[in-house]
Structure 1
Amino acid sequence: MSNPLLDLPLLPPFDRLQPEHVEPAIAELIDQCRAQLKEGLQEPGWDSTLAPLEEAQDRLNRAFSPVSHLNSVLSGPWRAPYEAALARVTAYWTELGQNRDLYKLYQQLAEAPEFASWPQARRKAVELGLRDFILSGVALEGEDRDRFAANSRRLAELSSRFANNVLDATSAWTWHTEDEAELSGLPQTALAAAKAAAETKALDGWLLTLEGPSYLAVMTHADNRELREEVHKAFVSRASETGPNGCEFDNSAVMEEILHLRAEQAMLLGMANYAELSLASKMAQDNDRVLEFLNDLAARSRPAAQQEFDQLQEFAAEKLGLDRLRPWDIAWAAEKLKQERYALSQEALRPYFPYEKVQTGLFAVVEKLFGIRVEADIGVPGWHGDVQFFWVTRGGERIAGFYLDAFAREKKRGGAWMDSVSTRRQTADGLQLPIAYLVCNFSSPVAGKPSLLTHYEVTTLFHEFGHGLHHMLTRVDVAAVSGINGVAWDAVELPSQFLENWCWQPEAIAMISGHFETGEPLPQALLDKMLAARNFQSAMFTVRQLEFALFDFKLHCLARGASAAAIQQLLDEVRAQLAVVPVAEENRFQHGFSHIFAGGYAAGYYSYKWAEVLSSDAFSLFEENGIFDSATGGRFLSSILEQGGSRDALDLFTEFRGRTPKIDALLRHSGIEQLELNTNPG
C-alpha cells in the first residue's frame, strides 16, 4: 500500500490520508533524517550538511503537520497515531539538539572568517542554532544528558494529555431542555445553533454545550440565572477535580508533573527557574524586566478596572435587582449596561457581519495594505466540508496559500490559531511556497442563514490572518528563520494584533460589513455606537489578561515546580492583587489554561501585552499617515512581514517605526490613558 505521507505534494492529500499511514511514515522519515545527518557530517559544511539536512527535516515536518492538525480539528481516530508520532518526533529533535558533532559544525561556521559576509538569513540561522543547542542540553554529560532527553519526551506527552483532557471535558458536558422558556434572552442565532446541536444527538428541543459560541451566548444573554450559574460552573471547572465529570479528566497531576519537569530542565542547564530558560529565546532581557512591565501596566489599569466594576455593580443593583454580582452575572449584566449606555448589542451587529462578507472584506483590506490578492481554489481537498483553500498572489504569481476552517464543531479543539503546513524555503527544484492553516470556532450557518459574526469574532479572524501573513509574506528562504520561524516569541503576536486595528476603522468597516439579507451597509448610528463602545470595560479586560500573565510568569519563576494546591494558592494571590470581579469557588481556570500547559506560552503569556505595545505603536504610524497609506503599508511589509526571524525583532520594529517602541499608543487605544486621568487624585 502506498503511503501519501512519504511522498507529499505541497498540499497534503487530505482526501487520501488515513490514521494507519502515520506511524510507518514518520518512522521512515526520521530514519532518513538520521541517515542524512550521518552522511552530511562526513564532509561538514553548510551546503554539504545543513542544506540537505534541512531538506530531509522539511519532509518530516510536512508529514507530521497534517497529522498534528487532524488531531486538533477532528481528534477521534487521529489521537492515538498522533501521540505515537509525537513521541518519535520529540525523541528525534531532542537527539538532534544534543548532537555534539552537529553543534561543532555550527561553532566552526560561526567562527569562520567568511561568516561575516554570509547572507543575513544564514548567519541568523547559525546564531539561533547555537543558542538552541545550548537550550537543548548539548553540553550536558552522562545522567544529566539522559535525564534532559527523557524529560523532553515526557513533557511532549504530558502537553498532549493536558489538551486531550480539556477537549474531552468540554465535549462530555451538555445541557438539554425541551422548554424554550428556560432559554429566555438567548438570541435567535444561539437558539438555532442549540436546536441544530440537539438534532445531531437525535433529541427534541435544544442542547447547550461548552463550545465557545454556545457558552458565550448563555453567559451574555440568558435571563435564566440558574442556567447561567450551571453553565459557568461547568465551564470554569473543566478538567479539574471540581468539574461535572469528577476526576475523570482531572489535569491536576499533569500540571504538577509538567511544572516539575520544566523546573528540572532549567536546573540541568544551570538556570534558576523555567522562566529564565523561556526568556532565552524572547525579546525581554530577564525575569525582572517582565515582572516590572506587568506590574507597571497593572498599576495603571487596576484603579480604572475597579471603577468599571463598581459602576457595573451599581447598575446591577439599581436596574437588574442584583444586590451582589456573582461570576455568572458579569457578562450578562455588562451586556445590559452596554445596551443602556450605548444602545448597542453585539446581536444587533451580527446581521451586518455575515461571515462571507467579512472574509471578502478582509482580503480587500490586505490587498490595499500590502498589494496582494487572495483567490479561492475549490479543487483543493480539505478535511471537512467547511474547509476552504485560498492562494495568495502578487502580480498574478502565487506566493503562498492557506486553508481556512472557520466553524465550531464537536471534537474540534476550541479557540483560534494559525499553524504551518509548509515553510518558504529554497529547494533543489525551486522555491517551496509557504502554506498555512487558519482555524476559528465561529457559529456555523444554520436554518438557511449564513454564519453571522459578532464584532469580537471579526477581530479574531483578522488576528489569525495577521499571523498567517507573517508566515506567508516572508521573503526569507532559509527554513530556520523563514516566516514565523526564529521570531522572538514575545514579538510573534505583533502582526496579528496589528491587523485587528482595521476592524475599528470606518473606512475598513465599510469593506467588511453589509446586512446579510439586503446588503445594506452598517448604519452610521450603529457604527457610531460601536466606536463609542470600543473601550467599554477595557480596563477590566486588561487586568484579566494581566492576571493570566502574572500567574503564568510567577508560576514558572518557582525553582521546583508546584503542587496543585500551591498552583491554586499562587493564582489566588495574583487575583487578590489584581482581580476586581468575583470568582466561583469551583473555578479551576489553571486546569484548562492550554496556552501554558499545552501550547507555546509557558512563561510567555505576557507576550500578548508585550506585543500589544508594539502593535499599537506600529498602527499609530498609520494613524499619522492614513490607514491605507501605501508607503506605510509597504514599510510594514518590508520591515516586519517579509523579514521573518532573520533579524532581531526590536531592530525590525525600530527600522519600521524610526525609534524604539513606546507604551503611549496602547494606553490611548485601550482608553486607559483617559481612565488614568479620571482616577488619579488632584
Structure 2
Amino acid sequence: MSPRRKERRVGVVAVAGAAALVAVGLNLAFSAVAAHRRRKRQELPGFSAQVNLSAAEIKRLADRIIAKSKETYDAVAAVPLDKVSFANAIAPLAELDAQQFPLVQACVLPRMVSPSEELCRASAEAEKRLDSHFLLCRQREDVYRVVKAFTERGERIGPEETRFVQCLVREFERNGAKLTQNKRKEMEKLKSLIDDLNLKYIQNMNDLTKFVLLSEEELAGMPLEFLKDLEETDGKRKVLLTSYHVTPILEHCKVGSTRKLIAVAYGQKGGKQNVAILEKLVQIRHRLARLLGYSNYSDFAIEPRMPMTSRKVLEFLEEMSEQLGDLANRELTLLKDLKMKEEGDAQFGMEDLLYYMKRAEQHKVDLDIGEIKRYFPVKLVISGMLKMFQDLFALQFEEIKDVVVWHDTVRLFSVRDANSSDLLGYFFLDIFSREGKYGHTCVVTLQNGCLCSNGSRKVPVAVLLSQCPKEFDGNSALLRFPEVVRIFHEFSHVVHHISNRATFSRFSSLRLEGDFAEIPSLLLENWCYESISLKMMSGFHQVMKISHDVFVLKLSSNSMNFQEQELMRKRTGSSV
C-alpha cells in the first residue's frame, strides 16, 4: 500500500463562515448550480459521499462533524456505569462512525485530487482539525470508562459486535485513556516529540534540491523516453534523487559505476541529520511503548496487525529465511554469473540486484523493456482490467455520465451483481497525471459499506488514483509492465472494498488490519501473468513486431522469476 493508501485513520471515523452577500443575480446563479450539483448526487442510490464541495463548504462540514462527534461522545459519557448497554454505549459510537466516515472523506479528498489551490488548503486545514479532534475523542477517559464497564457486564452480543467493542477498547488504551493524568501528559509530550522528529526526517528525505548530473554515456542503456524527461544542465542530464528517477536507473543502466553512484546517493538521503533523528526516535518510541504498558515499540506497532506480537513476526521471518535461503542463494549465484559476463571480475553489490534481475528476465522472455511497454496502452489496460474483474467475480460495471466530479478526466462507475442486478457500490477512476495531484497509485475510500441504525445499508464507494501519462499528439500513452501490475493490485482493493458486507463501518475492507487488507490484492495481481488476462490488457499500439500470442506466452512464462530474491531483499530492508 498504501497513502497506500488508502484513507484517513482518524479517531472514531477512520483509519484515512458564511460568505458575504454578493449581487442578488449572481447569488441566485450560484445557488442554482449548487442545487443542480446536489440533485446529481441524490439521483445515485445509496451514494451519500460528496466530491465537489467548495472551500467554505469544507470548513462548515468539518465544523458540523466535530460538533456531532462531541455531542455523541458526551451522551455516551453521561450513561451511568450501572446502566450501560450495547444500545446506549456502543451503538451510538458505531452509528457515528457509519454516518461521519463519508463526511470526513469529503473533507480530506480534495487535498489529494483537486486542481484548486484554495480547495487543497481548505482540505488540509480541515484534515488537521479533524485529526486533532478525533485524537482527543480517543483519549476521553469518561467515554473509555463507559465502554470498559460494558465489557464487564457480560451482555450477550454477536461476534462482529464483540470484535467492534474489542477494537474500541484497544484504540482508547493505545491513546492513553487508562493512564493517570500525569502519565497522560508525559505521553502527549513524547508523541509531540515523535511527530516533530518524523516531520523533520520526512522533510530531509523529500528534499528535491538533491540531484546528480550524468552524461549520456554514464546513462547508457536508459530508454529514450526516460532521457527526454530529464532536465539538461551544462550538457549533462539532471537526475533527481526520487524513486521516479532512481528505480529506472537501477533497473536499466548498463554502467555499473552509475548504478552504484545513484544507489549510494539515494541511500544517503537525509545524511547525518537523519541518522541522529532516527537514534532519537528509537529512544523516544521505546519510552512511549513502555509508558503504555508494552515491552517495546515493536509490540506496540504490531499489535493492530495480524501477528499481534513482535515475537510472531520474528518467528515468521526465521521460517521464511530457512525456506528461501538456499533458493535465494542459487538465484544470487545466477545474477553474479551474469554480471561476470557483462562487466568482468567485479564485486556484486545491492546496486546490481535490480539490473541483473531485469537482465535475467529479458534473456528468458527475449523481449526488451521498451518492446514490452509498447504492448500496454493505458486505455487498453484499463478496459481489459475492468472486463477481467467483471468476468472473474460476476460483476457488472456501468459508467455513469453527466455527473459533476473534481476533474474532467475522472470517470464514475456503478457496480452491480451480474446475476441479481443488485447494486453493490460505486468507484471513480482518476488515473491520469496532473499537477498538484497525489503522486502515487492508491485507493481512497469515500464511503464504507455498512448497516445504519434505521436498517438501511450504505454502499461502498472508492477512488482509484494513479499518475498514468496522457495521450500526446494522438500517440497512445504507454505503461511499463510493473505499472500495469500496480494498477491491477490497487483496483483489486477497489473490488475487495465494494464486495464487503460488514455490519460495521469499522470493518469495511480497507479499515481492517493493514497486512490482512493486502492479501486479496497480492493474490489477485498474479492474474497479470496469466495468458487470459494478458490478452485482455495488452495489444501492440502500432505495427506488431511479433504476434500478440507470442508476446503473451513469453511474458506469462516469466511470472515468478526471482520472487525469493525480492523477499530476501525486503527482509534486509534494502533501499535499492
**Is the TM-score greater than 0.5?**
yes
Question: Which amino acid is 1:306 matched to?
Answer: N
Deviation at 1:381, TM superposition (A): 4.7
Q: Does 1:262 align with 2:285?
A: yes
Partner in structure 1 of residue 478 of structure 2: 452
Deviation at 1:291, TM superposition (A): 0.6
How far apart, CA to CA, are the structure 2 residues paired with 1:294 and 1:467?
A: 26
Question: Which amino acid is 2:495 matched to?
Answer: L
Q: 1:176 to 1:290 in 2, by over 3 A?
A: closer
- Match of 1:390, SS? strand
- Match of 1:517, SS? coil
Aligned-CA RMSD value: 3.9
The equivalent position to 1:404 in structure 2, one of 402, 415, 429, is 429
The equivalent position to 2:319 in structure 1, one of 296, 307, 311, is 296
- Match of 2:510, SS? coil
How far apart, CA to CA, are the structure 1 residues paired with 2:547 and 2:490?
A: 24
Deviation at 1:425, TM superposition (A): 2.8
Question: Which amino acid is 2:566 matched to?
Answer: F
How far apart, CA to CA, are the structure 2 residues paired with 1:280 and 1:224?
A: 45
Q: 1:519 to 1:314 in 2, by over 3 A?
A: closer
Question: Which amino acid is 2:170 matched to?
Answer: R
Q: Does 1:105 align with 2:146?
A: yes
Q: 1:35 to 1:299 in 2, by over 3 A?
A: same
How far apart, CA to CA, are the structure 2 residues paired with 1:354 and 1:162?
A: 38
The equivalent position to 1:219 in structure 2, one of 250, 255, 263, is 250
How far apart, CA to CA, are the structure 1 residues paired with 2:195 and 2:458?
A: 29
Partner in structure 1 of residue 271 of structure 2: 241
How far apart, CA to CA, are the structure 2 residues paired with 1:145 and 1:293?
A: 34
Partner in structure 2 of residue 556 of structure 1: none
Q: Report matched runs for 1:31-180 at 5 Å.
A: 31-43=67-79, 45-57=85-97, 61-66=101-106, 68-72=108-112, 85-112=126-153, 115-116=155-156, 118-152=157-191, 155=194, 159=198, 162-166=201-205, 168-169=206-207, 171-173=208-210
Q: Report matched runs for 1:220-619 at 5 Å.
A: 220-223=251-254, 227-238=258-269, 240-241=270-271, 251-252=274-275, 254-284=277-307, 286-321=309-344, 323-384=346-407, 386-394=409-417, 395-407=420-432, 414-427=439-452, 430-446=456-472, 448-485=474-511, 487-517=512-542, 523-548=548-573, 589=575
1:354–1:453 CA contact under 8 A, matched in 2? yes
Moved more, 426-435 or 260-269: 426-435
1:389–1:401 CA contact under 8 A, matched in 2? yes
Deviation at 1:273, TM superposition (A): 0.5
Question: Which amino acid is 1:190 matched to?
Answer: F
2:98–2:504 CA contact under 8 A, matched in 1? no
How far apart, CA to CA, are the structure 2 residues paired with 1:72 and 1:236?
A: 28
Deviation at 1:294, TM superposition (A): 0.2
Kindly provide the CA deviation profile for residues 240-261 of structure 1, in whole angstroms up to 9, marking residues without a partner as x: 117xxxxxxx544554454344
Question: Which amino acid is 1:360 matched to?
Answer: S
Partner in structure 1 of residue 65 of structure 2: 29
Q: 1:149 to 1:136 in 2, by over 3 A?
A: same
How far apart, CA to CA, are the structure 1 residues paired with 2:463 and 2:334?
A: 42
Deviation at 1:543, TM superposition (A): 0.3
How far apart, CA to CA, are the structure 2 residues paired with 1:322 and 1:414?
A: 40
1:352–1:521 CA contact under 8 A, matched in 2? no
Paired-residue identity, %? 20
Deviation at 1:474, TM superposition (A): 1.0
How far apart, CA to CA, are the structure 1 residues paired with 2:471 and 2:212?
A: 21
- Match of 1:281, SS? coil
* Structure 2 residues without counterparts, runs of 5 or longer: 1-16, 20-33
- Match of 1:399, SS? strand
Deviation at 1:361, TM superposition (A): 1.9
Deviation at 1:172, TM superposition (A): 3.4
Q: Report matched runs for 1:177-192 at 5 Å.
A: 183-191=219-227
- Match of 2:560, SS? coil
- Match of 2:248, SS? helix
- Match of 2:414, SS? strand
Question: Which amino acid is 2:247 matched to?
Answer: L
How far apart, CA to CA, are the structure 2 residues paired with 1:258 and 1:78?
A: 34
Kindly provide the CA deviation profile for residues 413-467 of structure 1, in whole angstroms up to 9, marking residues without a partner as x: 5543323222223346743222223233445544543332232222211211222
- Match of 2:374, SS? helix
Question: Which amino acid is 1:434 matched to?
Answer: P
Kindly provide the CA deviation profile for residues 450-488 of structure 1, in whole angstroms up to 9, marking residues without a partner as x: 332232222211211222223221111322223333x33
How far apart, CA to CA, are the structure 2 residues paired with 1:72 and 1:327?
A: 34
Deviation at 1:541, TM superposition (A): 0.9
Q: What TM-score does the superposition give when structure 1 sets the normalisation length? A: 0.67
2:410–2:428 CA contact under 8 A, matched in 1? yes
Deviation at 1:364, TM superposition (A): 1.8
How far apart, CA to CA, are the structure 2 residues paired with 1:49 and 1:204?
A: 69
* Structure 1 residues without counterparts, runs of 5 or longer: 243-249, 549-574, 576-588, 591-682
Question: Which amino acid is 2:445 matched to?
Answer: S
Deviation at 1:144, TM superposition (A): 0.8
How far apart, CA to CA, are the structure 2 residues paired with 1:213 and 1:444?
A: 17
2:90–2:147 CA contact under 8 A, matched in 1? no
